[in-house]
Amino acid sequence: MGKEKFKHFGMSPRTALAAGIDVGKYELFAKVLGKFPGEFRELGQQTFTNDVNGRREACCFLDNFGLDIIVLEKTGAYSDAIHAALESHRGWKGQAPRVVSIQPVSVKRYPGEVHTDPRSAIMLAKLGLSGLLDVSYIPSMQGRQLRDLTRMYSKQAGDSTQCINKIKEQLSECGYMLPDLDVSSAWGLALLKILVSPEVMGNIKLVYDLVENDGVKLHGSSKQAILDRKPQYIRFCETKIPKTDCEIVRILMAKLAAENAVRDATCQSIEELVNDTPMIKRLVDKLSAIDGISMMSATIIIAEVDNIHRFPTQDKFLLYSGNTVAPDISGKHVGKPRMTKRCNHHLRDVFRVAGRTACEIVTIDSDIKHYARKQMQKNNRRKKKAYANTGAKIARVVYKLLRDDVEYERFHALHPPMKDAAIASQKQDEEIPFALKEITRRTRRFRNYIVRACETLPPGITKTLHERIREIWKEIAPEG
């Protein structure tokens, strides 16, 4: 172990001190660097074991230098332990140094350069002194736990969807292209279970014979759903499923059941964590009130964002969530701004799904639904663009709610709140004459249109209809 004592005598007031720590599975290599006018000077180094005692010794060693910043690579569990030990250390003689973790890609190396612990530690210390760090954000402990669970849930949901698609593909290869088959529903699973059973072996006619004669135990709703689809499915009575394909479908159904059970357990763990943390529970309830965002989507947003104040502007948040265009400028090249792929894909998927839900499923009228209707009318042939624009609108609403800590209002944009009650009443009094003028204008225009249309018709009964319409309009239309 090489160790050099550092003395504070003769230090320039402009001198900056930094330490770089190369983190390994079993060892920690710490290098201390000082930035003097015109040069970098190595002030000390030492190797420690990556355990509790070694991390404590590293904190005591670094405490002798009065450091400004400590930089280490983000290497998962190995770096998290030393990062937590440095932040929790209370024995700093002066001001506690800033501790940051950076991604390994930030440490650039030349091709063919030998990788050694001292070289990496020096590079990390120089990055700390340069002020050009790309710092990795470390969520809170509850945020990390919630993020792990929500990402696991999303992956399990994707695996279940993949398994469902494989089941449908296997049936399609055998000629069983059953319309309106929902494999994720109870009646769909019951139908497939009977269809691929050894007694039936893919004969849909035997399936309906067993269902109608109560040959199998089914829930009442599942039985009714299967019987309602008999006219559509009975035409496949001549189609057979080979024995091997039945075995494959049974294996896939067993895999789907196992994945659904694991996903339900993960969902229960997420609910328990949210309910046990009042702050997260309050934020999830606030976001789930937004049209298009479910309780699970709100939980994923909270898990991925963790602290909204790390985004100083709305554009920064939209770039992070993949809901805005990014400039394409490099030197003299100026390209067209486009959607960036360097974003949080979990947030992007949540907002895309929320935009689609607001466009297609949500029926309650609100600012978001009004915006979704306009996007669907404007992009009637490009629905994906309408979904993306609506998702970006929801992302802006989410940023506003989390940053200002306000509640969601369905008609905030269409009917903004008035600050003064007198002004509000005055505006309401002004809107009533305006509404009457608009009604009068539209009534006169429609009446003139009917008069012109009836005058072009032939005489006789149409003339009588013309006169009758005039009488009706005189009765219901405003004077003048």
Q: The CATH number of the domain where 164 resides is what?
A: 1.10.287
pLDDT value of residue 5? 42
Using CA atoms, how far residue 262 sits from 159, 266, 267, in Å, is 11, 6, 9
Of 250, 276, 302, the domain-final residue: 276
**The pair of three-digit structure tokens given for residue 118, joined into one six-digit string:** 């001292």
- 412 in a domain, yes or no? no
Same domain? 272 vs 284: no
Instruction: Output the average pLDDT for the chain.
Output: 80
Task: Report whether pLDDT(333) > 50.
Answer: yes
Task: Give the long-range contacts of residues 48-51, CB within 8 A, separation 24 or more.
Answer: 50/23, 50/24, 50/25, 50/26, 50/78, 50/81, 50/82
Helix (H) or strand (E) run with residue 403 in it? helix 383-404
The three-class DSSP label of residue 306 is: coil
Task: Report whether pLDDT(416) > 70.
Answer: no
- 135 in a domain, yes or no? no
> Residue 80 — φ and ψ, nearest 5°?
-65, -35
On whether the CB atoms of residues 412 and 367 are closer than 8 A, the answer is yes
Same domain? 149 vs 236: yes
Q: What is the pLDDT confidence band of residue 269, given thresholds at 50, 70 and 90? A: very high
**The pair of three-digit structure tokens given for residue 389, joined into one six-digit string:** 């624009």
On whether the CB atoms of residues 134 and 287 are closer than 8 A, the answer is no
The three-class DSSP label of residue 48 is: strand
Give the whole-angstrom CA distance, residue 139 versus residue 65: 29
Give the whole-angstrom CA distance, residue 370 versus residue 358: 10
Beta bridge partners of 16: 35
Domain ranges, residue 53: 16-130
Same domain? 209 vs 286: no
On whether the CB atoms of residues 300 and 350 are closer than 8 A, the answer is yes
Q: What percent of the chain has pLDDT over 90?
A: 21
pLDDT value of residue 7? 43
Beta bridge partners of 21: 30, 72
- CATH number for the domain that contains residue 97: 3.30.420.10
For 173-182, write each residue's pLDDT tens digit: 888 888 888 8
Using CA atoms, how far residue 332 sits from 88, 325, 328, 335, 437, in Å, is 47, 20, 11, 10, 57
On whether the CB atoms of residues 227 and 211 are closer than 8 A, the answer is yes
Contacts of 130 (CB under 8 A, 6+ apart): none
On whether the CB atoms of residues 257 and 156 are closer than 8 A, the answer is no
How many domains, in total, are found in the chain? Answer: 4
- Site of tokens 């799904």: 353
- 139 in a domain, yes or no? no
Same domain? 248 vs 309: no
Task: Report whether pLDDT(385) > 60.
Answer: yes
- 252 in a domain, yes or no? yes
Same domain? 233 vs 223: yes
Same domain? 113 vs 151: no
- Say how many CA atoms lie within 13 Å of 41 toward its Cβ: 13
**The pair of three-digit structure tokens given for residue 107, joined into one six-digit string:** 């440490």
Same domain? 394 vs 468: no
Burial 46-56 (b: 16+ CB within 10 A, else e): bbbebeeebbe
Chain center to CA of 469:
57
- 74 in a domain, yes or no? yes
Same domain? 306 vs 375: yes
- Site of tokens 């695996």: 159
Same domain? 308 vs 384: yes
Same domain? 269 vs 289: no
Give the whole-angstrom CA distance, residue 37 versus residue 15: 8
For 417-472, write each residue's pLDDT tens digit: 554 544 445 544 554 555 666 777 777 777 777 677 666 666 655 556 667 667 76
pLDDT value of residue 9? 36
Query: Mean pLDDT, to the nearest integer, of 342-364?
Result: 90
pLDDT value of residue 134? 52
Of 98, 130, 162, the domain-final residue: 130
> Residue 65 — φ and ψ, nearest 5°?
-105, -15
Of 104, 130, 156, the domain-final residue: 130
**The pair of three-digit structure tokens given for residue 161, joined into one six-digit string:** 């969807």
Query: Mean pLDDT, to the nearest integer, of 159-172?
Result: 90
Q: What is the DSSP letter of 331?
A: T
pLDDT value of residue 2? 45
- 306 in a domain, yes or no? yes
- 4 in a domain, yes or no? no
Same domain? 386 vs 427: no
- 79 in a domain, yes or no? yes
The three-class DSSP label of residue 326 is: strand
pLDDT value of residue 17? 86
Same domain? 264 vs 285: no
Sign of CA dihedral 179, 185, 190, 192: positive
